Structure 1
Amino acid sequence: MLRKILKVLAIAFILIQFIQIDKTSKSDETFHMSTKYNMPEEVSTLLKNACYNCHSNVVTYPWYSYVQPVGWWLNNHISEARRGLNFSTFTNGSIARQNHKFEEILEEVKEGEMPLKSYTYFGLHPEAKLTDAQRGVITSWAQLQMNLIAEQYPADSLVLKKRIK
């Protein structure tokens, strides 16, 4: 009986390998953050290395994304991350939302919440592991962007409207 169960599981595992995730990147950068906000080369490089694989439409999938169900989980994780923050569509939202996202970037990076620890476990993605100095570069840049937004827009336009359910 156990042999039959293991055999069925092995066959199912092999079959699901044929159901791969869509790994195509969307190259439309019309609403990319850099189209509206100044991104010094150092900031751009840090964000690309530490954030873009989950928070942009340009993803470099690792080898293990070809193994299902890991690929499905990874694809879902990336989709959720993009819903929270997507550098490729950043300027498509309201100025209040953009300002709020800069605030979230500042907080998450400063507190060490991003990039996720699980993203750099076991030596995976060593380029994404940020030093304190690198965190400082990103947080200073995010604060500067928030200050510039505050100078250019009325304070009431920077308040996110509550969603009515």
Structure 2
Amino acid sequence: MKKILTILLVAFIIIQFFPIDKTNPPVNEGMDFLKIKNTPENITKLISNSCYDCHSNETRYPWYSNIAPSSWFLKNHIDEGRQNLNFSTFAMYEPKRQIHKMEECIEMIETAEMPLESYYIGHQDAKLTDQQRKELVVYFKKQIEDTKIKMQ
């Protein structure tokens, strides 16, 4: 048993020499969802607190991002989040894709799939009440309608 614990400890120490890259891509405010949609402050706060760490180029890495293997899981999650939806580059999406992404946001919010339960562990301010979820859904629906009107 002692030998196994020693091996695990050595392995844990060794993997600390393989840190993740925590460099955020540059942010162009002219491309950011919250800016281009002139999002009200209360909605901005909700989206920033609940979505931006994984779905933008403005990730705030928590203390445990310095400890492998949790850092690897975190980095993978952020990369996947940005790949699926990146609010920092939202203006680059074609209008139809913007609409689709906002429809996906509505679905994820209504079904409470986002933010992820695991995200709440270190981010209690990201937890959305039912009322906040309704506000976000109304907001995204309004943005979809506005985008459709602009497409005509």
TM-score, L = length of structure 2: 0.91
Partners in 1 of 2:68 and 2:15 — Cα distance?
A: 6
Q: Secondary structure at the match of 2:53?
A: helix
Count of aligned pairs between the two proteins: 151
2:42 aligns with 42
| Equivalence for 1:137 | 135
AA aligned to 2:119 is Y
| Structure 1 runs not aligned, ≥5 long | 155-165
The offset of 1:8, in angstroms, is: 2.8
Q: In 2, distance between residues paired with 1:100 and 1:38?
A: 19
Cα RMSD (Å): 1.5
Name the amino acid aligned to 1:102.
M
Could you tell me how far apart the structure 2 residues matched to 1:27 and 1:132 are? 34
Q: Which residue does 2:145 correspond to in 1?
A: 147
Taking only the aligned residue pairs, the percentage that are identical comes to 44
Encode CA deviations 1:84-114: one digit per residue, 9 max, x unaligned.
1111111111111111011111111122111
Superimposed CA distance per residue, residues 113-132 of structure 1 (whole angstroms, 9 cap, x where no aligned partner): 111112114xx311000011
Gaps of 5+ in 2: none
Offset from partner CA, 1:34-86 (integer Å, 9 cap, x none): 34212111111100111111111111111111110110111001100111111
Give the aligned residue type for 1:17: Q
TM-score by length of 1: 0.85
Report 1:102-121 matches (<5 A).
Answer: 102-121=102-121
Q: CA deviation at 1:153?
A: 1.1
